[in-house]
Structure 1
Amino acid sequence: MPVYTPTLKARIAIITTVLAAVFGTGIVLTALYDAHRDLHDALQVQQDSVVKLTASQLDTAMSDRIVLLSHQAAQLSGLLAQAHGAQAAAVRERALDTLSAAIPVPAAFNALLVADMQGNIVSNRGTGADVGDRSYFREAARSLAPVVSPPIRSRTNGQMGVMVAVPVLAPNQTFVGLVGGWLDLSSANFLIEILHNRLGTTGYYCLVSAGPKPVYIRHPDPAQARQPALAVADTCGEDDSPAPLEFLTPARPVIARYLMSSTGWELVALLPAREAYAPLHQMQQRFLGMAGVAMAAVALLIWLAVRRQLAPLARLHKVVQASANDLSAFERLPTRQQRDEIGDLTRAFIKLMRDVRERRQALDRSERRLRAVTDTLPSLLAFIDTDERYVFNNQAYERVFGLKPEELRGRHVREILGEARYARVQPFMQRALAGTAVTFETEDSDPEYHCMESSLRPEWSADGSEVVGVHIHVQDITQRKLETQRLARMSRTDHLTQLMNRSAFEGQLHAAMVRSREHGTLMALLYLDMDRFKAVNDIHGHAAGDQLLQTFAQRVRRCVRERDTVARLGGDEFAVVLEDMTQPAAARRVAQAILQAMDEPFDFEGVSADVDVSIGVALYNGGPALDRELMRLADVLLYRAKGAGRGRYEIGPPELAGELSPQ
């Protein structure tokens, strides 16, 4: 599956747009963050002001009620001091009547009560109870100061409420009782009325009592009444933790707190984040929408600007691609270019392609001249690459292989030469591809003998670091080879008898002795000397002597095997080398056959000559002896035979011959 790669214009536009989007987003986020912070600060200030005002109202109302109770407590001090014995209940009743006449119910309190110093109370609700164990009673008796209780349950009607208690003191400042006002949290009173005021649409107040274990005095959720609250930084039970991106998706409510001076209670005002930051959220949506539209417009403008600016580069790109097949494609570019980097690049490209075209034309002319020269040569000329594929061939390949040069180009050497020929030349090609110049010959006898000389010369890269191909030069040297072989044979052959001459014989003897040593086989060297040859030569002339030598050579040749060596050493001296003998008797048989062959007279030009031969037979079985020592032994044996009467042979050495009797 092809991988899509964006064009340069697209990449530049994308990168520019992304960078603009990153910076724009940063600016937008910074602006939104600042807007959120400013709005939060403004809301906090507003909430602080509201809660302070409300707390002041509560303080004022509570202080007014404490003042009323304190004034009545001073007037009732003498009366309550008489609340002893049987008169105690009547005294409390008279005190309650006085209190009820002075303080309006339920305008100031929901209920009033009077308690003697033992905690026995009487209430305007017509019921009595003992409150001596109540914390507010004990605190008022101890501190001799007004006390506001936390939410408690009434022992007269079971309702939740708050008791405002003021101690009644005798002239000597001793505690004789207290007067109290009951604020029922389920009935209408100033606490309920003030705390029923809403903050916005969804905001609300909660009131937390003082002391080490504060509870909710007032909470919009009735189930939270008298539930434990936080002594510090209470949040009315709401989650006050910020969101990960609080300035984008605010979740933290705006909370303001104020401590009432009259009671020590803490008034908490809470405005939920949804309502508090609703204007900011709407502004964010509009702002983000406008930013998105602006970003799209910027991206489009960037694309159009980049496209316009890179139009010359796009045109140059098309021309560069077309130049792979058309070296004149650069002529389609405008003659006048912009004075910028793209214009400089275009001018440099035009100059480069004009130079390349001229060089290509010069190269084509040079190649045509080279081909014209190489095609006239009979030799095979070629160039192969490192994959052993033809890059160049001259016309001679068509004459040899029947394929035109263009048909050979790109084909593998193995495919053209065939497996057998390729196997012979492949090692040499590997050496050439490794960087070594190689020259070698190949011979073939199918259908007739011919010999080819091949020269392989590696071509190196411009920096000389690696071989990039091999030049091949193959020429037919069959005639030269045949002439060389003929001259070699002439240099090794006696021209009169067509036998080997001394030089060739010595080489054959040395090779035969080497083979005998390597394989441990038995061989023999026979030295032959014609008897009475000089007389025939002197009487009948040199022509007759030459004919005698030729006939003698023919008779000797018939007495040995085809693979045995027969040579004329000079004059009337001959030599025979016998190899691969199993027994010394084989040498004896050959020597005897030569003697018998010479028993018949030699007839030529009406002349009959009787010529004998003496033979020295030297045996060799791979010992340390050198070839000159074996020749000396054969020569000694020859003259021993001559001395013993001629027309016979002598064989040695005794340890190999097995017997010394001459024949």
Structure 2
Amino acid sequence: MAVSEGIFGLNHRGKITFMNSAALQMLRYDRPGQVIGQESHRFMHHRNSNGEHLSSEQCSMRKAWSEGVAVYSDSEMFKRGDGEDITVEFSANPLFDDDKLVGAVVNFSDITMRKAQEERIWHQANFDQLTGVPNRSLFIDRLTTVLDQARRNNALLALLFIDLDRFKPINDQHGHDVGDVVLQTVARRIQASLRQSDTVARIGGDEFVAILPSVESSSDARIAVKKITASIKRPMEIDGQSISVGVSIGIALFPDDGECVETLLKQADHAMYKIKSTER
């Protein structure tokens, strides 16, 4: 590893024996005396990359200094001296003296900025930038996952295809800025009408879908449709104007209406257009 990367040593009890200047700088300490003799897990390695607190027995570095096993992680959390957490990539290699395990040496790099950039890129690729709900790509991924679960558990699943009525005239009469606020409001209202376990996604201009896993019966889907419809049809106050929009919602059920992503989406879309045509 490069010299600019942090390096510190641990004895056979997991206490810090030395720390180089790069490590001190990354962890916001002024001098080695602030860290030497500290128990490494309690002092700096207390959480994993998901933010979950680790017990000393769960500490991955422990395997290096107590069992002689080399450890590598591409995403762990270290606590700095100022109390802030950083995301690090590290390797911990056991240290032997005449075949006797005496501790470990840990090399690490601060990858906080890199991870944040990766998360931003992932979010941009999977979420609709206007409404903040999942986009088509993430919707397909989540529907595929819940379909697999439904097959294993012999469960019923509902897919709702939600299409706004009279949305184009809003854009034409009030402008796209108002239309954008309408779409954002609709997304929030759909989410508020459903369970936390349900997924709402925007897959087109004024088209949304909702995945309702593990419904008890088709009546659960119809109840959800009624709630969404009532919520969306409430007038929206935007820039001092009262804006109203209609909605048509089609339902497709797994396994009755289809057993794959493409078929369910097609059936829900078809059901939505049948409703839209009868309401004209």
What is the aligned partner in structure 1 of residue 260 from structure 2?
Answer: 626
Asked if 2 retains the 8 angstrom alpha-carbon contact of 1:386 and 1:433, the reply is no
- Over residues 40-61 of structure 1, what are the superposed CA-to-partner deviations in whole Å (9 max), with x where a residue is unaligned? xxxxxxxxxxxxxxxxxxxxxx
Q: For residue 404 of structure 1, what is the amino acid of its counterpart?
A: G
Amino acid at match of 1:424: C
Aligned to 2:51: none
Match of 1:617 in 2: 251
User: Match for residue 452 of structure 1?
Assistant: 87
Q: Which residue of 1 aligns with 2:215?
A: 581
2:58 to 402, 407, 423: 423
> Which amino acid counterpart does residue 382 of structure 1 have in structure 2?
F
For residue 573 of structure 1, what is the amino acid of its counterpart? E
Once residues 637 and 623 of structure 1 are traced to their aligned partners in structure 2, the CA distance between those partners, rounded to angstroms, is 11
Q: 1:527 deviation in Å?
A: 0.7
Look up the SS of the partner of 1:570 in the other structure. coil
- Could you tell me how far 1:422 is from its partner in structure 2? 5.4
* Mapping for residues 188-337 of structure 1, pairs under 5 Å: none
Residue 557 of structure 1 pairs with residue 191 of structure 2: yes
Match of 2:165 in 1: 531
Gaps of 5+ in 1: 1-372, 647-663
CA distance in 2, matches of 1:539, 1:611: 13
Instruction: Kindly indicate whether the alpha-carbon contact (under 8 Å) linking 1:385 and 1:469 is maintained by their aligned counterparts in 2.
Output: yes
Deviations 1:420-464 (A, max 9, x none): 245221466379944x5623322489x987343242264899xxx
Could you tell me which residue of structure 1 aligns to residue 50 of structure 2? none
Greater share of helix residues, 1 or 2? 1
Question: What is the CA–CA distance in structure 2 between the aligned matches of 1:551 and 1:451, rounded to whole Å?
Answer: 36
Alpha-carbon distance between aligned partners in 2 of 1:549 and 1:518, rounded to the nearest angstrom: 35
How many residue pairs match? The answer is 265
Asked if the contact 2:251/2:268 (under 8 Å) is kept, the reply is yes
**Equivalent residue number for residue 510 of structure 1:** 144
Q: In the superposition, relative to structure 1, how do residues 389 and 555 fare at CA in structure 2: closer, same or farther (>3 Å)?
A: closer
Q: Distance in 1 between matches of 2:169 and 2:14?
A: 71
Match of 1:569 in 2: 203
Q: For residue 33 of structure 2, what is the aligned residue in structure 1?
A: 404
- Opposite residue 129 of structure 2, the aligned amino acid is H
The answer (yes or no) to whether the contact 1:428–1:438 under 8 Å persists in 2 is no
- Give the whole-Å Cα distance in 2 for the aligned partners of 1:382 and 1:399: 14
| RCO higher in structure (CA 8 A, sep ≥6) | 2
Distance 2:185 2:35 in 1: 62
Residue 393 and residue 448 in structure 1: after superposition, are their counterparts in 2 closer, same or farther (change >3 A)?
closer
Give, in whole Å, the separation in 2 of the partners of 1:580 and 1:448.
42
Q: Normalising by structure 1, what TM-score?
A: 0.34
Normalized per residue, the structure richer in strand is 2
Matched to 2:262, the amino acid is: R
Deviations 1:516-566 (A, max 9, x none): 233333321111111121222223332232222222223222211233211
In structure 1, what is the equivalent of residue 20 of structure 2? 394
Q: Give unpaired runs (5+ residues) of structure 2.
A: 47-53
Per-residue deviation, 1:493? 2.1
Shift of 1:388: 6.0
Contact 2:159 2:212 in 1 (8 A): yes
Q: 1:470 to 1:624 in 2, by over 3 A?
A: farther
Shift in CA distance, 444/571, structure 1 to aligned 2, threshold 3 Å: farther
How far has the Cα of 1:607 moved from its partner? 4.4
Q: Give the alignment's TM-score, normalised by structure 2.
A: 0.73
Query: For residues 441 and 642 of structure 1, do their structure 2 counterparts lie closer, same or farther at Cα, with a shift above 3 Å needed?
Result: same
Q: Distance in 2 between matches of 1:517 and 1:444?
A: 41
| Contact 2:12/2:101, CA 8 A, preserved across alignment | yes
Using a 3 Å threshold, how does the CA distance of structure 1 residues 557 and 448 change in structure 2: closer, same or farther? farther
The percentage of aligned residue pairs carrying the same residue is 28
Name 1:336's counterpart in structure 2: none
User: What do the CA deviations read for 1:584-619 (whole angstroms, capped 9, x no partner)?
Assistant: 222111101122223334443454444211111112
Q: Deviations over 1:388-411 (max 9, x none)?
A: 675542254595699628943xx8
Structure 2 SS opposite 1:634: helix
Distance 1:632 1:482 in 2: 37
Pairing partner for 2:231 from 584, 597, 620: 597
